[in-house]
Each structure stands twice: as structure tokens, then as C-alpha cells.
Amino acid sequence: MEQAAVTLQESIARQRKELSDVLQEPLQQLAARCMPVWTDRAQLDRVLAAGLKMLPYGRSLYALDTSGIQISSNASAEGLIETAIGRDRSKRPYMSEVLPIAGALLSEAYISQLGRRPSLTAVQVVRAPSGAVLGFIATDFDLRDLPLTHKLYEEPVFWRQLKGDPSIRDSVFHQKRVESAMDRQIDTVLGVIEELMVYHGVYHVILHFSSSRAVVWVMADPYRYRLLDIDALIDPDICLAYPKTPYPSDALVPHHQIRTVLDSFRALRFMDDMFYLRSGTLNLFNGIVGLTFSCDGSHYIPHDEFLKAGYDFWVGSK
């Protein structure tokens, strides 16, 4: 049975749960050690300084009363920072969430005030033997320091539509397509792009029809893009600058469908003077076709769905 695609939010939630599970026990132990010395700041500072070693990825550790006012120094790798005593943290993102009545809460990520970096804070409730809430201990983490060992998020493959600039959408009925240099040479341009993708290692292309340029990525040098102007795109000799490369066996787009996708781009470019394709994107490995229209709306579509929809679908959606 095929496994369901994991959404971006689900992937984040899984990693957060893994982090929370790691932090629960040491924070509970630390809360138990802080409780007897809660009203003795000097002893509380010493417990927090020792406790930071139980949280190897923690940047700082401190105690707060029930109002969110800091009642301890900041325990950090550099030592105790007393200037933080009395700081009002009640408005910070991690204190604005629903605070835990038991155990610990791992906050949503936020941008730290001092470091201006993505951070997380774990907040643990501290209770007296009677059960009354004394306050909280909190430890801050830089996202860069955390051991996020979960596998890389995989982009799901489904049709997505995104709205563009409202000002462009509002003016779409007052505009008209102006013939570009690429429009005039479109058959040559598409022939060159097909050749580069099938035989010369280009796996991702963005065709900007209105501005007559293309951006391409090559398997042999995937971290850098290359910008091709109209002079390059209408010169078949450009293929000589890209070594012949076998078509990738793990590409989701069959090589014989590349030209069909490109021809569909041409049809959408010329389908109407008011509603027309401004740019088209194709990636061979995730099989996604990207379309941005004159209204600035964008679609990201699996190539097989794009081809199945056909020209009539887009004409009817105008």
C-alpha cells in the first residue's frame, strides 16, 4: 500500500514531538530540584547553572514567576547573567501561548530579541508540594543548535494554485499581451530547450516569455543557475556549451513528453491577448509544471495532470 504524502506541517510536527520527548524528563527533574529553593535566588541560580548541563543544546535557562517576570539570573554557557533579573517576559511568544499546567510546553519557533535568530523555548511548570503553581523554568534554544535528525521534508506532488499581486489582478482587464522577441522565435526557442533537457543535462527550466529569457539548472552543476538571453535561446549552437548527458533514469517526466509540455506552454502563451502565460517552469525530477499567467496567478501541477487537463481547460477558466 502506498504511503500517504506527509505535509510540511506534519513534518514539522513530527520533529517538534521528537524534541519535546527528549526534553520532558530532564526538565521535570530540574523543576523538582528548583522547587525547594524557589524563594532563594542564590541557590536557585546555582541549581539552574548546574541544570543547564542537563540540556546540552540549551542556550540559557531561567526561572519566571506566574506573571512571567524573571526571578533568577540567566544561566548560560558564559556563566550567570544577573542583569536579566526582573525582566518581563510575559509578552514573549512562548509566554503568550497556553502555559502548561503539568509538564513542559515547547513553543512555536520565533525570532529572538537579542540574537534575531529563529529560536524555541521550552517552558516547564514548577509546583509546590501542595500542588500550587510557583512559576516556570524556561530554556531557550537556537534552531541552528538543535539535532534535527528527521529526514528532509519531501515536497508533495499535487496541483496547487496561488494568487498573485492583487494590483495586477485588478488591472488584468486593462492590459494586452505585447509580442516579445521570444514569441517571434518561439519554435526555435522550444526546440533548443527540448534538446538541452533531453540530451544535455538541463533538468529545470524557467521560461520567461514576456521578457525573452530562460533560467536553467544543469545536473553536472546543480547549485548554480544559468541565465540564457534571447540570443542564446535562438542559437542551436548553445547546445555545444553543455556536454551530452544521459537522460536521468529517475526523472518523473518521460523524455518524450518534454516537447508536449513545451508545446502546451506555447498554446497558453497565445491563447488570449488579455489572459496569457507569462512564464512556464518544468522540473524533470519532481515532475512539476509551473505556470504564471498575466493575472499573476500561479499554478504548480504534476506534469501528467497538466497534460491531461489540456488546452480546453485553460480556455474555459479565463
What total of structural domains would you count in the chain? 2
Q: Is the dihedral of CA 210, 213, 215, 218 positive or negative?
A: positive
Last residue within a domain, chosen from 84, 113, 145: 145
Report if residue 286 sits inside a domain. yes
pLDDT attached to residue 177: 78
Residue 39 φ/ψ, nearest 5 degrees: -95, 0
Helix axes 8-34, 41-51, angle to 10 degrees: 130
Are 86 and 69 in contact, with CB atoms under 8 Å apart? yes
Report if residue 1 sits inside a domain. no
Last residue within a domain, chosen from 145, 168, 201: 145
Its pTM stands at 0.66
The pLDDT of residue 3 is above 50? no
| Half-sphere exposure (Cβ direction) of 175: Cα atoms closer than 13 Å | 17
Q: Give the domain CATH number at 44.
A: 3.30.450.20
pLDDT attached to residue 2: 39
Same domain as 166, residue 128: no
pLDDT attached to residue 101: 61
Last residue within a domain, chosen from 145, 177, 194: 145
Same domain as 199, residue 292: yes
Q: What is the pLDDT of residues 189-243, one digit of tens each?
A: 999 999 999 999 999 999 999 999 999 999 999 999 999 999 999 998 888 889 9
Q: What is the pLDDT of residues 76-101, one digit of tens each?
A: 888 888 888 999 988 887 777 656 66
Q: What is the pLDDT of residues 252-296, one digit of tens each?
A: 999 999 999 999 999 999 988 878 899 999 999 999 999 998 876
Residue 25 belongs to domain spanning: 8-145
Q: Per this entry, what is the length of the chain?
A: 318
